[in-house]
Amino acid sequence: MKYYFKTNELVKIAILSALGGVSSTYIGYLGNVMNRFLGVPFGAGQFLAGLHIFWIILGFGLVKKGGTCTMIGVLKALVELFSGGKLGVFVILLSGVQGVIADGALFMLRKKNVYTFSIAGGIATAANVFIFQAFFAPYNALQFFLLIGLISFVSGVAFAGVFAYNVLNVLEGKEQEYSMKKVSTLLVCGVLLVGGVCITILLCMRPVRK
């Protein structure tokens, strides 16, 4: 009996879902920090929104099968939920729908290159703005809503598309050992890793409210 996903593919999906779920929890908190820094109640965190979809697109690149994005989206959301994500149960709907959108976009685009990854990543990332608007209507002005949607789309193109594609090439050994693209990709990975560690330390040091 043949199964759609092989064991090694399921392992990849599980690992990426776990990493994505934990990182998304802290990306959400970092988005709140950006909002406070810029003096806005919400919206600024959309600059980082593509990092939530990064794991979904990277997973598809590694597994190369339809349905991968949806599976990672749902599993990642469950990990985020149980690791203290600020969206609660709603994150399962949000991340699951984004996974379905990414799967659909990649299926329709057919070719698997940096352009299709960028389009799929951008659309799936921007979808979060529309989903939040549909359920909570946080944006009263159409211009502001479109601006936030555009920021989210650009973040998705950059982080979920281009960055995920470059990381995929590094993991699959397609980049030259000392190429500028490989060095810059690893540098960005290092910055994000250090940032994640710093946020974790700050959250752990935060006084508990009684």
Tens of pLDDT, residue by residue over 77-130, are 999 898 877 788 999 999 999 999 999 999 999 888 999 999 999 999 999 999
Q: Which two tokens stand for residue 25?
A: 């929890």
User: What is the pTM for the complete model shown?
Assistant: 0.87
CA distance 188 to 105: 26
Cβ–Cβ under 8 Å, residues 127 and 160: no
Across the chain, mean pLDDT equals: 85
What is the percentage of the chain residues whose pLDDT exceeds 90? Answer: 50
Determine how many CB atoms are found less than 10 A away from the CB of residue 50: 29
Which residues make Cβ contacts (< 8 Å) with residue 43, sequence separation at least 6?
35, 144, 148, 151
Rounded to whole angstroms, the Cα distance separating 59 from 183 reads 22
Amino acid letter, 97 = V
What whole-number distance in Å separates Cα of residue 165 and Cα of residue 160?
8
